[in-house]
């Protein structure tokens, strides 16, 4: 009987010990093989487009670009790519955004077992979607809440950063009155009564970050877009 070819896997994580651990676990399985490793999103994109693996396992928070954008960049050039997210974070917004971007699996670093990882790999390679139960619960909760627009996400991030309505209006080149209208819409969608409560919900759900770098910026900058274009074109 003809021997079945192993599942070819590319992994990407900015921590060496994580890459080594994943490689050791995966390569112990006779039907799986890690064929390349990346340390950031640009390397991940290049490696996936160059090797065309059966599966890619990627960390969300790597240098280069934001996670959902990296996933979309891969799928733009390799539409049949199967992508599994391997992350320590499972906020509602993060899970929602990466699944919406096209990821087929979501494995939690701190909660998933070796068996979970292998089960996810096998399921995704068979065309299924596999999401860790904790992340799946967050996704279900997120699906039942209204989505913020890109402009509302921008404003909410600035609220989290402590900016006043005047400062937000100046940054976006709009009036304070317009900012207040947006804030009222944001409060209604989040189910809160004011700025303090909005900040708490935004951070808990992963819509904004206290360090001023939101996990899912509303718009991709021109530099980011050009960098991705250059890297993906070079990899093809």
pLDDT tens digit sequence for 173-200: 999 999 999 999 999 988 888 898 888 8
Round to whole Å and give the CA distance between 81 and 86.
Answer: 16
Cα dihedral sign for 81, 128, 217, 169? positive
> In this predicted structure, which of 42-51, 109-118, 165-174, 196-205 has the lowest mean pLDDT?
196-205
Q: What is the side-by-side order of every strand in the sheet holding 32-38?
A: 32-38, 7-12, 55-58, 83-87, 105-108, 130-131
Round to whole Å and give the CA distance between 68 and 224.
Answer: 13
Q: What CATH number is given to the structural domain containing 133?
A: 3.40.50.2300
Round to whole Å and give the CA distance between 62 and 128.
Answer: 26
Query: Which one of 143, 158, 193 terminates a domain?
Result: 143
Same domain, 138 and 152: no
The model's pLDDT over 219-232, given as tens digits with 9 standing for 90+, comes to 445 555 555 555 55
Please check whether residue 100 lies inside any domain of the structure: yes
Predicted confidence (pLDDT) at residue 37 exceeds the cutoff of 50 = yes
Same domain, 136 and 47: yes
Same domain, 130 and 34: yes
Q: Where in the sequence is the domain holding 52, given as residue range(s)?
A: 7-143
Same domain, 152 and 133: no
188 burial via Cβ count (<10 Å: 0-12, 13-18, 19+): exposed
Same domain, 189 and 129: no
Instruction: Indicate the number of domains in the chain.
Output: 2
Please check whether residue 113 lies inside any domain of the structure: yes
64 and 39 Cβ atoms separated by less than 8 Å: no
Same domain, 154 and 207: yes
71 and 103 Cβ atoms separated by less than 8 Å: yes
Predicted confidence (pLDDT) at residue 94 exceeds the cutoff of 60 = yes
Round to whole Å and give the CA distance between 83 and 234.
Answer: 21
The model's pLDDT over 51-90, given as tens digits with 9 standing for 90+, comes to 999 999 999 989 988 889 999 999 999 999 999 999 988 7
Same domain, 171 and 88: no
Please check whether residue 1 lies inside any domain of the structure: no
């Amino acid at each position: 009987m003809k021997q079945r070819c192993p599942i070819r896997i590319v992994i990407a994580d900015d921590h060496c010990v994580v890459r080594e651990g994943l490689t050791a676990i995966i390569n112990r399985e006779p039907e799986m093989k890690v064929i390349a490793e990346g340390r950031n999103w640009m390397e991940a994109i290049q490696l996936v487009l160059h090797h065309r693996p059966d599966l890619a396992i990627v960390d969300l928070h790597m240098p280069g670009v934001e996670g959902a954008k990296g996933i979309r960049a891969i799928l733009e050039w390799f539409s049949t790519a199967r992508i599994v997210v391997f992350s320590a974070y499972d906020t509602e917004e993060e899970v929602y955004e990466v699944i919406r971007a096209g990821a087929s699996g979501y494995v939690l670093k701190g909660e998933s077992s070796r068996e979970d990882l292998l089960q996810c790999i096998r399921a995704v390679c068979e065309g299924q979607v596999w999401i860790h139960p904790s992340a799946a619960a967050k996704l279900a909760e997120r699906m039942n809440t209204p989505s913020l627009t890109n402009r509302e996400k921008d404003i909410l991030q600035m609220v989290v950063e402590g900016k006043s309505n005047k400062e937000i209006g100046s940054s976006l080149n709009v009036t304070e009155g317009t900012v207040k209208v947006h804030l009222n819409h944001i409060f209604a969608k989040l189910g809160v009564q004011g700025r303090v409560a909005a900040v708490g919900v935004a951070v808990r759900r992963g819509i904004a970050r206290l360090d001023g770098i939101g996990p899912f910026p509303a718009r991709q900058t021109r530099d980011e877009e050009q960098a991705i274009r250059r890297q993906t074109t070079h990899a093809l």
